Structure 1
Amino acid sequence: MKKFLIFISKMMLLLLLIAVVLDFCYTAVYLKSDHRGKIDYIYNSKAREYDVAILGSSRANNHFVAQMFEDKGLKAFNFGMSGSHLFEASLMLKLMVERGYKIKNLIIETDLNLSNEHRADGIASRFLPYIHDSKTIKEHFAKEKDFYELYYIPFYRYVAFDSKIGFRELFFNAIQKRTSHLENKGYYALGNKKGNMENDLRALKPLHNKYYEEIKAICAANKINLIALMTPMCSNVKGMDYFEKVNKVYPEIHNYENAVQGDQYFSSCGHMNDTGARMFTARILKDFFNK
Structure 2
Amino acid sequence: MKKFITLVAKILLMILVLLIVLDWTYTTVYLHSSNRGKVENVFNSKARNYDVVILGSSRANNHFVPELFEKKGLKTFNYGMSGAHLFEASLMLKLMAERHYKIKTVILEADLGLCNEKESDAIAAKFLPYIHHSETIKKHFSKLENFNALYYIPFYRYIDFDALIGFREMYNTATDKPTNILDNLGYHPLGHKPGNMKNDLTALKPIRNKYYEEIKQICKQNHYNLITVMTPMCTNVKGLDYFEKANKIYPEIHNLENVVEGDQYFSSCGHMNDAGARMFTAAVIERFFGKNKKFRYEIKATHNNKKTKH
TM range (shorter): over 0.9
- Which structure 2 residues correspond to residues 44-55 of structure 1 after superposition, within 5 A? 44-55=44-55
Q: How many angstroms does 1:2 deviate by?
A: 2.1
Match of 1:214 in 2: 214
How far 1:216 sits from its partner (Å)?
0.1
Equivalences for residues 81-120 of structure 1 within 5 A:
81-120=81-120
* Cα distance in 1 for residues equivalent to 2:38 and 2:276: 24
- Structure 1 residue 4 corresponds to structure 2 residue 1: no
Letter of the 2:247 partner, please give it: N
Match of 2:257 in 1: 257
- Residue 191 of structure 1 aligns to a residue whose secondary structure is coil
The alignment partner of 1:105 has SS state of strand
Q: What secondary structure, in the 3-state scheme, does the structure 2 residue paired with 1:52 have?
A: strand
Cα distance between partner residues in 2 of 1:28 and 1:116:
33
Q: Secondary structure at the match of 1:276?
A: helix
The yes-or-no answer on 1:161 pairing with 2:172 is no
Question: Counterparts of 1:12-51 in structure 2 under 5 Å?
Answer: 12-51=12-51
Helix, strand or coil: the match of 2:50? Answer: strand
Q: How far apart are 1:87 and its partner, in Å? A: 0.3
Alignment partner, residue 130 of structure 1 = 130
**TM-score, length basis structure 2:** 0.93
1:169-190 residue CA offsets vs partner (Å, 9 max, x unmatched): 1111111111101000000000
1:270 paired with 2:298, answer: no
SS at match of 1:26: helix
Distance of 1:289 and 1:54 partners within structure 2: 14
- 1:231: Cα distance to partner? 0.1
Corresponding residue of 1:179: 179
1:100-128 CA-partner distances (Å, limit 9, x unpaired):
10000000000000000000000000000
Secondary structure of 1:82's aligned partner = coil
Q: Which amino acid aligns with 1:80?
A: G
Q: Give the AA of the match of 1:88.
A: E
Q: Does 1:241 align with 2:251?
A: no
1:204-237 Cα distance to aligned partner (Å, 9 max, x none): 0001000000000000111110000000000000
Query: Which amino acid in 2 is paired with 1:144?
Result: L
What displacement does 1:193 show?
A: 1.2
CA–CA distance in structure 2, aligned partners of residues 37 and 114 of structure 1: 24
Amino acid of the residue matched to residue 42 of structure 2? I
Write the letter of the residue equivalent to 1:190: L
SS at match of 1:108: strand
**Which SS does the other structure have where 2:144 is aligned?**
coil
Q: Indicate the residue corresponding to 1:201 in structure 2.
A: 201
Letter in 1 for 2:160: A
Could you tell me how far apart the structure 1 residues matched to 2:237 and 2:257 are? 11
User: How far apart, CA to CA, are the structure 1 residues paired with 2:223 and 2:44?
Assistant: 24
Return the offset for 1:18: 0.3
Q: Quick one: which amino acid aligns to residue 106 of structure 2?
A: L
- Tell me which amino acid in the other structure corresponds to 2:248: K
Amino acid at match of 2:34: D
Kindly, what percent of the aligned residue pairs are identical?
65
RMSD in angstroms over aligned alpha carbons?
0.5
Unpaired segments ≥5 residues, structure 1: none
Q: Counterparts of 1:38 and 1:66 in 2: how far apart (Å)?
A: 15
3-state SS of paired residue (2:40): helix
What SS does the corresponding residue of 1:205 show, helix, strand or coil? coil
The 3-state SS of whatever aligns with 2:240 is: coil
- Output the CA distance in 2 between the equivalents of 1:178 and 1:104: 30
Q: Matches of 1:159 and 1:36 in 2, distance apart?
A: 20
The one-letter code of the counterpart of 1:69 is F
Provide the C-alpha distance between the structure 2 equivalents of 1:72 and 1:239, rounded to a whole number of angstroms. Answer: 36
Please state whether the residue corresponding to 1:54 is helix, strand or coil: strand
Q: Which residue of 2 aligns with 1:142?
A: 142
Take 1:251 and 1:124, find their aligned partners in 2: how far apart are those partners?
A: 29
- What CA deviation, in whole Å up to 9, does each residue of 1:5-49 have, x standing for no partner? 211111111100000011011111100000000000000000000
Question: C-alpha separation between the residues in 2 aligned to 1:67 and 1:8?
Answer: 60
The alpha-carbon deviation at position 3 of structure 1 amounts to: 1.8
